[in-house]
Structure 1
Amino acid sequence: MQINFLKLNCEKTDFIIIGPKSLTKTAHNLTINIDNSTLSPSPHIRILGIIFDSHLTFERHVHNITRTAFFHLKNIARLRPSLSSTTAEILIHLFITSRLDYCNSILYGSPSKILNKLQYIQNSAARLLTHTRSRDHITPVLQKLHWLPVPQRIHFKVLLLTHKALHNQAPRYLTDLLHHHTPSRSLRSSDANLLSIPLRTKHRTWGDRAFSIAAPSLWNSLPKPIRDCTNLSTFKSLVKTHLFRSAFNV
């Protein structure tokens, strides 16, 4: 930071140790001395609005999204009798959907108990918009609104990043993680535009969530016409339609 003429504010500096519980427990007493200040590991840190924890569970992050989303949802509910459906939907997308979608690719591979909390937010927003009772089934409502459920929205974001990385529209550190699959001999799948999937890692809850594994896995599951699409706008439309049909079995 001195080389780049930046001032380090130690009072606002945090560091976190990320790893399995066996590692974080043994490193709990680790301290770092910077600029005559002693720093201890923090259980949570915020980076660009994302709250990271030592085990990458993102429970604290999802809790924060839930609390903020329902705050705005309650305010929209007070105004709902005076709003048209179009205006109410705009407010929901502005204050609720935007929070569900922000950096949601980091939640790929998260357990269902985490994703269900986010899905409950979307379900509540759909009920508010359509005046659906709490005892009524929500799936037909989401389908009618043409809203992708939360897991599919996460898959969409990962696939979008993958498409950009393959077409030199993403940072180099993402592009370098993807490699086209090259069969050892000539096969019909040689021109299938598939990606090579690295060997599975030991810890599925950690390694399989990495972009280098998640991206090829989702990409290879797409139909070939979608994988071959080079236009970004067309790709978005095709992927959304594919994920929508997959989510609602249509």
Structure 2
Amino acid sequence: SAAVKDLGVIIDPSLSFESHVNNITRISFFHLRNIAKIRNMMSVQDAEKLVHAFVTSRLDYCNALLSGCWSKCRNKFQLVQNAAARVLTRSRKYDHITPVSISLHWLPIKSRIDYKILLLTYKALNGLTPQYLSEHLYQDDSPRLLRSKGAGYLLVPQIMKTTAGGRSFSYKAPQLWSSL
């Protein structure tokens, strides 16, 4: 295959990140199985540290790249997160997972991705990121006097390709920021 691994992210020619998601899912389930085997000998705090070190850190690393990916890819990450929550709380397989995730204060994967993009946007607007990120964000400086003039909306650029262009930071960040 023509996939390339750069900074731990597997990039395929179609930019679907499917091989990256499959790799992270496989590694995360491996670690979860190992943690589950020794879960009875650990406290909740120790198990939580292991899950964060070996699983959720992998799910969160470069997850902003998955912002516009198919829901199939995000669902695989959601399955890993649900399994991690079950291991931590010793929940059964068929117990409803939403109350468990809420008790752990864990956002769903799509919300985690959106949060990461919004955090980068906030930092870029306040000069807390490198200049190259700030250069992709444009304030709405319309000469017309509108009620939304001081609302801090960002201009969403026109895109040609909806697959890759719709996932770019310069498109996704203003779209999410303006929807707040």
Band the TM-score falls in, shorter-chain normalisation: over 0.9
**SS of the residue 2:10 aligns to:** strand
AA at the equivalent of 2:57: S
Tell me how far 1:163 sits from its aligned partner.
1.0
Question: CA separation in 2, counterparts of 1:85 and 1:161?
Answer: 32
Please name the residue that 2:179 is paired with.
221
Tell me how far 1:113 sits from its aligned partner.
0.4
Question: CA separation in 1, counterparts of 2:163 and 2:90?
Answer: 38
Please name the residue that 1:93 is paired with.
52
Tell me how far 1:182 sits from its aligned partner.
1.7
Please name the residue that 1:169 is paired with.
128
Please name the residue that 1:207 is paired with.
165
AA at the equivalent of 1:178: L
Once the two structures are superposed, what CA deviation does each residue of 1:108-154 show, in whole Å capped at 9, x if it has no partner?
11111000000000000001111111111111111111101111111
**SS of the residue 1:123 aligns to:** helix
Question: CA separation in 2, counterparts of 1:88 and 1:129?
Answer: 6
Q: How does 1:125-204 map to 2 (within 5 A)?
A: 125-199=84-158, 201-204=159-162
Question: CA separation in 1, counterparts of 2:177 and 2:147?
Answer: 18
**SS of the residue 1:46 aligns to:** strand
AA at the equivalent of 2:13: S
AA at the equivalent of 1:77: A
Q: How does 1:15-54 map to 2 (within 5 A)?
A: 43-54=2-13
**SS of the residue 2:68 aligns to:** coil
Tell me how far 1:159 sits from its aligned partner.
0.7
Please name the residue that 1:120 is paired with.
79
RMSD over aligned Cα atoms: 1.1
AA at the equivalent of 1:215: A
Larger Rg: 1
Q: Which one has more relative contact order, counting CA pairs under 8 Å at least 6 apart?
A: 2
Q: Across the two proteins, how many residue pairs are aligned to each other?
A: 180
> 91, 110, 126: which one pairs with 2:69?
110
AA at the equivalent of 2:148: S
Once the two structures are superposed, what CA deviation does each residue of 1:169-221 show, in whole Å capped at 9, x if it has no partner?
1122211110101223112211101111112x243222111111100011111
Please name the residue that 1:83 is paired with.
42
**SS of the residue 1:80 aligns to:** helix
Please name the residue that 1:33 is paired with.
none
Question: CA separation in 2, counterparts of 1:204 and 1:137?
Answer: 35
TM-score, normalised to structure 2, is 0.96
Question: CA separation in 2, counterparts of 1:167 and 1:185?
Answer: 25
Q: How does 1:234-245 map to 2 (within 5 A)?
A: none
AA at the equivalent of 1:190: K
